[in-house]
Amino acid sequence: MVEQPFLNPLGVHALVWVGDTSPTSVNYAVTKTKETGYDLLELSLHDMTNLDVAAARRRLADAGLRVVCSRGLSFDADISSEDLAIVARGEQMLHDSLQVTAELGGDHLTGALYSALGKYPYALNDAGRRNVVTVLGSLARQAKNHGITLGLEVCNRYETNVVNTAQQALALADDIGEDNVFLHLDTYHMNIEEDDLVRPVREVGERLGYVHIGENHRGYLGSGHLDFTAFFHALVDINYTGPVTFESFSSAVIAAELSNNLAIWRNLWNDGEDLARHARSFIANHLTAANTS
């Protein structure tokens, strides 16, 4: 086997395979992730009450796969709220998610940890932002005890009102002030909110901890208009060696809560395995080209 010229673990989001985290679904997602050549499986914890954590950990270990956990919050458990009862529910949800991540053997919890996942009818206010900083500071300190880093995923304006650009996420991470809080860039969101796909990568630099690769319409990579060549070269320019995870959604795989929140209304693909194999090759080829040019 020819050695890869890049060090990045390649991951795939479980929603390419399944819409929930029942034992049968997790087993299927692990099997397919391994078969299609990925190193890492990202599990969304939106369905974590159905997750058999011990069984999932064994299955992941048997397959030799790393795991990353991700999530957003709900409007009744939103730490950017001014309502302290709502904030408290969100804080508990985050700490429960951190515990699940640790029990799965994961070392990274990421996503829209700072707010509900959905369209807000108003701008974030100072009180809400202070609540985010307080809760995530506490969560980060607890995460250190487990050797876990936290990721602040930069999401678009239709999914959060807290951080929509890399600059806003850097400012939030600075205010949280913990050295295990990193940024998570996603090409799908960057396409909506950033001026280009290069400058944010360079601005974040060594504080980049996780990357989502998604097309502008969240379908097959290369079938849209994103400048992935420039993006992958930017990752190499900053010596990023962290995970690069493929994320794609289609109404072919339904996760009711997330599908509604993310507006997944149409089939962008029907065959998750073909999609995943194509994405694995696409990402590896771009990383290889960027590292050898």
Summarised one tens digit per residue, pLDDT across range 97-155 is: 999 999 999 999 999 999 999 999 999 999 999 999 999 999 999 999 999 999 999 99
Radius of gyration for the alpha carbons in the chain, expressed in angstroms and rounded: 18
With respect to residue 123, please indicate whether it lies within any of the assigned structural domains. yes
With respect to residue 250, please indicate whether it lies within any of the assigned structural domains. yes
* Residue 272 confidence (pLDDT): 87
In terms of phi and psi (left: phi > 0; alpha: psi -120 to 50; beta: otherwise), the region of 263 is left
In the predicted model, is pLDDT for residue 265 greater than 70?
A: no
In 3-state terms, what secondary structure has residue 91? helix
State how far the Cα of 135 lies from the Cα of 143, in Å rounded to an integer: 12
The CATH number of the domain holding residue 70 is: 3.20.20.150
Domain with 47 in it = 10-292
The residues assigned a catalytic role are 153, 247
Beta strand pairing call for 244-246 and 208-213: parallel
Residues 63-112 have pLDDT tens digits of 999 999 999 999 999 999 999 999 999 999 999 999 999 999 999 999 99
State how far the Cα of 271 lies from the Cα of 256, in Å rounded to an integer: 19
Between CA 169 and CA 178, with CA 175 as vertex, the angle to 5 degrees is: 95
With respect to residue 3, please indicate whether it lies within any of the assigned structural domains. no
With respect to residue 21, please indicate whether it lies within any of the assigned structural domains. yes
Percent of the chain with pLDDT over 90: 89
* Residue 270 confidence (pLDDT): 80
Residues 13-43 have pLDDT tens digits of 999 999 899 999 999 999 999 999 999 999 9
With respect to residue 283, please indicate whether it lies within any of the assigned structural domains. yes
3-state helix, strand, coil in the chain (%, to 5): 45, 15, 40
Comparing CA positions, the residue from 274, 223, 293, 287 lying closest to residue 16 is 274
* Residue 117 backbone phi and psi in degrees, to 5: -100, 100
Residues 209-243 have pLDDT tens digits of 999 999 999 999 999 999 999 999 999 999 999 99
In the predicted model, is pLDDT for residue 1 greater than 60?
A: no
The pLDDT mean for the chain works out to 95
State how far the Cα of 176 lies from the Cα of 132, in Å rounded to an integer: 9
With respect to residue 235, please indicate whether it lies within any of the assigned structural domains. yes
With respect to residue 208, please indicate whether it lies within any of the assigned structural domains. yes
With respect to residue 75, please indicate whether it lies within any of the assigned structural domains. yes
Confidence of residue 3 (pLDDT cuts 50, 70, 90): confident
State how far the Cα of 204 lies from the Cα of 174, in Å rounded to an integer: 12
Percent of the chain with pLDDT over 70: 95
Comparing CA positions, the residue from 39, 66, 16, 24 lying closest to residue 274 is 16
As for how many domains the chain has, the answer is 1
In the predicted model, is pLDDT for residue 247 greater than 60?
A: yes
